[in-house]
Structure 1
């Protein structure tokens, strides 16, 4: 039965669009749906909802409503309403909405600066702060308590990770400290290598130019149909004729030319030193970035080209707007980071950082695109959910979607389904696969569970092709929230495909 609510209560449930929110012609029907379903949604009369995000895409228009108590947002709590191209509601989500809040005082007793000092110490941040957030939220603890908190995120130069600290805004108590960076593999996953020594550099009005550089597309083994061993080993970054011949010469589009040097920077991606070690930016006096893998510049060029190519494909070929909201819409990357660890990460600062342990991560397109996949997930949904390993599987899918499109391995070979063909599946670590047969929800670490999601998507890919699967996947992520699991993500991807019927080759048989 639908609940009839007085206008007084309705006013407390839905507030006017704030200054930071976008406008939509669907705001009235979306608000109407929320009011109509307020009892089932569990909306309490002391909280309110405000339209904070409108995204228009090939499937229609998605409106996201943020939950507030007084004027303080509730952390990771929203209701999503999606309208298809016909202007009808085709999908809704309230899985992240917090129903069990208690009304609390929302005036902090602790200053934001004091909370930051507590967080800096608790997170053991070291060196220069490269990114920080400090926001006041209403927060539902794991124990079900409603607290007023500062959520503080700190990235620092000498400490790997992106550290989130929740500080009680009334008592200064540290509620939690955790690393929220998203890695290409679990820290303990089949680790058999240690940090690699950092190699020494040989030191030697802008406009956009075209350049050239060598890359692995996607890696030396797939390019040549080889297996790890013999000439095709990491060898502490040593190169040889076989590994040099596995390179491809590519165009570096729209790179910056300023102060008589060319830089790996354009509208989509920019190189920076984000975390230790500091290896430079590899600017060149000419537009030729012709490195081999024994030179640090090779990983810089390889990562730049793959990130740029992938984002151009999404934004220009598919016509799906997908960029970070930070850094002017450009992805910032560091090809030699994390203190030389054998791992890589995406942070919500819109940054990608690649380690150098084992095979340098930025030599393998699977690693680069997996980490970019986390970013894509974040930019499309406004949050990153790793429930059931959703974001890990999304990163694996995005990398595999590209590498399989190159048609380098027959479907009868194990490598056809390998993730991290150069970085993994060797004596360093075991890599992952996209023909994982374990049934949902599976068990184990999030990276292990993510193989279920990636494998399901790749089965669809083999049936309907890359472009349609990519479109459904990307538009489906736009319908997810910060707590979406694989099951609900599958519903979202399916609905996105339905909402594109009659476009881009989508048909219903």
Structure 2
């Protein structure tokens, strides 16, 4: 597959120009490079940024970049540009730009290189799709006759590609009873005995696990509706119940043998989680979503549909909407799609998507009660029907098989390891921010470097030591050689996290001879060096604090922040 795959980290410290000269002469000749530096001004409009990117990536006159998404998270502006060829979109091809308030900018390119492939066009095509070294003009059709809905991409009468749909107004408050997060967790038990599905039957043991909560509802004409600004119910798939979820009082009290219970349970946990995401500073990840808690023909699966921006929860076995882990897991796919639309492609990317939303689900569940730390879906997925997942697997990077469901726990366990070091809020903030950086066909190591870069940009790298330890435990990195995410084409930095902790030297590898000046946070010079190919900074030579390294290559200068 021909990709112009590039992750670019840009530093605009001391920048005065809208765009500075590229540190490499021609991006088009360096499309396989992972790190590259340049400078972008946050004052530019999306149109100006797109125009500059077209020049930098040497796009042809037939190519264009159009803004697909603009979002804002904690002090970061995010832009996603969709790649077009001859006025039609190119499947899974584009560029992401992330501009930080500090002046740093990260660019991620996942452009298909159409210059190197054959272009095959057929009347009626609506988008271009890369396959087997050819760029096909295809049309997309939804095939609902499969066990799970499948999109099929046709070139004439030939199917070029098939892809499964991803599994992936507050007026007043009312009272409700829900599982918190599910009866297995709150009873501190295992599936069996009275804690079984029994065809949705209720019993005193299960009813004792219900917790009374408050929920936001819409109040109209003396009636209470289970609806809010970003969430409503709709009958999407069979069975069709046509329930308006309306009450003439403010008590949504049901037990699991009543059909409305799953709606109330899902509604509470989704609303609660939306509020949390908003309070964390990620309101731009939240979009209006439609929910069907008894869908998919009664099957034992759930599904997020990015085209209709909806979730169907199945009711085979234990109803999926009874387990908050399943509820939040599926909503995690929605957050991912909002943060990085049209990027769920590639076996590693899909496995990490599942692992990420497994982590978000279990992190949420642990915030309610920490009695079950690592088991995901302990009610829906710890029973006769399927065995759920875990966020404490011993698998490592070397155990990756390429299977979405077999590999997911490697990534979720890595994220939960970070959670156990630095806590929920810090880890969730990193993960929610990371949802803006997802690209098609990305690898585990891509995502490791992105998370480290996010921590550097958002937190000054103060969590890098803990994060690196988790990455090492899972085999993604080794202590011997951990490249800093702010390394560039002209400078490589190793072991910045160990330097920050005071137990390892910071190794700086230069492309050529340079003068290195170390400034403290006040801008005062504390050290200077004439360096050749590489040199080290010993942590014992510096007090704890923030330092700026200025590396001068004659007519060029780079600046890096490091923590000691």
TM-score normalised over the length of structure 2: 0.69
Q: 1:95 aligns with which of 110, 129, 153?
A: 110
Q: Structure 1 residues 223, 146: closer, same or farther in 2, change over 3 A? A: same
Query: Which runs of 5 or more structure 2 residues have no equivalent in the other structure?
Result: 1-23, 29-41, 465-545, 547-562
Alignment of 1:29-178 (within 5 A): 32=52, 35-36=55-56, 38=57, 43=59, 46-89=62-105, 91-95=106-110, 97-99=112-114, 102=117, 104=119, 109-110=123-124, 136-141=126-131, 143-153=132-142, 161-168=148-155, 171-178=156-163
Q: 1:2 aligns with which of 19, 25, 29?
A: 25
Kindly indicate whether residue 446 of structure 2 is the aligned counterpart of residue 432 of structure 1.
no
Q: Structure 1 residues 242, 337: closer, same or farther in 2, change over 3 A? A: same
Q: Structure 1 residues 100, 216: closer, same or farther in 2, change over 3 A? A: farther
Alignment of 1:334-483 (within 5 A): 334-348=292-306, 349-385=308-344, 387-388=347-348, 389-409=351-371, 415-440=372-397, 442-443=400-401, 445-483=403-441
CA contact (8 A) 1:477 1:493 kept: no
Q: What root-mean-square deviation, in Å, do the aligned CA atoms of Structure 1 and Structure 2 show?
A: 3.0
CA contact (8 A) 2:141 2:152 kept: yes
Question: Normalized per residue, which structure has more strand?
Answer: 2
1:181 offset after TM fit, Å?
2.8
Partner of 2:265: 302
1:74 offset after TM fit, Å?
1.0
1:235 offset after TM fit, Å?
1.3
Q: Structure 1 residues 279, 159: closer, same or farther in 2, change over 3 A? A: farther
Partner of 1:179: 164
Q: Structure 1 residues 440, 417: closer, same or farther in 2, change over 3 A? A: same
Partner of 2:256: 293
Kindly indicate whether residue 463 of structure 2 is the aligned counterpart of residue 488 of structure 1.
no
Q: Deviations over 1:420-467 (max 9, x none)?
A: 011112232211110112112611530221111111111101111111
| Cα distance in 2 between the residues matched to 1:207 and 1:418 | 33
1:173 offset after TM fit, Å?
3.6
| Cα distance in 2 between the residues matched to 1:44 and 1:2 | 18
| Cα distance in 2 between the residues matched to 1:52 and 1:494 | 26
Moved more, 419-428 or 367-376: 419-428
Q: Structure 1 residues 337, 24: closer, same or farther in 2, change over 3 A? A: farther
| Cα distance in 2 between the residues matched to 1:105 and 1:229 | 58
Q: Structure 1 residues 57, 100: closer, same or farther in 2, change over 3 A? A: same
| Cα distance in 1 between the residues matched to 2:163 and 2:104 | 41
2:373 partner SS:
helix
| Cα distance in 1 between the residues matched to 2:71 and 2:255 | 42
Partner of 1:190: none
Relative contact order higher in (CA < 8 Å, ≥ 6 apart): 1
Partner of 1:232: 195
Moved more, 481-490 or 363-372: 481-490
1:240 offset after TM fit, Å?
1.0
Q: Deviations over 1:186-230 (max 9, x none)?
A: xxxxxxxxxxxxxxxxxxxx9823111111010011112122222
1:394 offset after TM fit, Å?
1.4
1:96 offset after TM fit, Å?
5.0
Q: Structure 1 residues 408, 105: closer, same or farther in 2, change over 3 A? A: closer
Kindly indicate whether residue 229 of structure 2 is the aligned counterpart of residue 244 of structure 1.
no
2:192 partner SS:
coil
TM-score normalised over the length of structure 1: 0.76
| Cα distance in 2 between the residues matched to 1:365 and 1:501 | 30
Larger Rg: 2
1:481 offset after TM fit, Å?
1.9
